[in-house]
Amino acid sequence: QKEVEQNSGPLSVPEGAIASLNCTYSDRVSQSFFWYRQYSGKSPELIMSIYSNGDKEDGRFTAQLNKASQYVSLLIRDSQPSDSATYLCAVMKGSQGNLIFGKGTKLSVKP
Amino acid sequence: GAVVSQHPSWVICKSGTSVKIECRSLDFQATTMFWYRQFPKQSLMLMATSNEGSKATYEQGVEKDKFLINHASLTLSTLTVTSAHPEDSSFYICSARPDPNTEAFFGQGTRLTVV
């Protein structure tokens, strides 16, 4: 089992819809989780971080964490074409805090 | 968010030569920096953890004699790809965090092409 798993997509949603991105992780003791957005040819940029069970909202983005199910998700409301990118789920591991990334889900928002 | 600057953003070099990539934390001190490599359509793979004032910790399968890491100050880490080959062509990205338990910020990345 891979440490961080994501559906590679592509996930296609119409403009204005809700995009739902999912991620599962294998290390039960993980405590810190992140969603990054990566445009083609660019480095990742942080979208959300989440550390405790439940929902965390920031503008159009909502991160959800369920540690019992080892599951973390990202919802994007009112999706825009500019949201089209690859979304990377990352889990912090180790005492030095390195990140383990999933393969990413490619999101396409159609006008 | 915190700023991490990486230089150069792209470089083309000949096989057998060496290339140095710099990663700087501009507005915070980073005792630890991370180096990643990303091949096309693949995710980021951690290569090594760079520790200020001590040796880097390399991930399994990463040749430490080929990928030299120096973290000489609290704001600068360098990655040198020695004797580069075409298969080393990739997108190299560094990251650092102001606080050990919070989010990491990434440099702009360096696109290395070995011809």
Rounded CA-CA distance A87/A105 in Å is 5
Which among A34, A43, A100 has the least Cβ separation from residue B109?
A43
Structure confidence at residue B100 as a pLDDT band (50, 70, 90): confident
Residues of A in contact with B107 (CB under 8 A): 43
Nearest to A34 by CA among A8, A56, A13: A56
Q: What is the mean pLDDT of residues B83-100?
A: 92
CB contact (8 A) between residue A42 and residue B42: no
Reduced to 3 states (helix: H, G, I; strand: E, B; else coil), residue B86 is helix
The pLDDT tens digits for A58-105 are 999 999 999 999 999 999 999 999 999 999 999 998 777 788 999 999
User: What are the strands, taking DSSP E only, across chain B?
Assistant: 4-7, 10-13, 19-25, 32-38, 45-51, 57-58, 67-73, 76-81, 90-96, 105-106, 110-114
DSSP state of A16: T
| Mean of pLDDT over chain A | 93
Structure confidence at residue B1 as a pLDDT band (50, 70, 90): low
Q: Does residue A33 have a pLDDT over 70?
A: yes
Rounded CA-CA distance A88/A102 in Å is 6
| Mean of pLDDT over chain B | 92
Q: Does B31 touch chain A (CB under 8 A)?
A: no
Q: Does B54 touch chain A (CB under 8 A)?
A: no
Measure the N-to-C terminal CA separation of chain A; round to a whole number of Å.
37
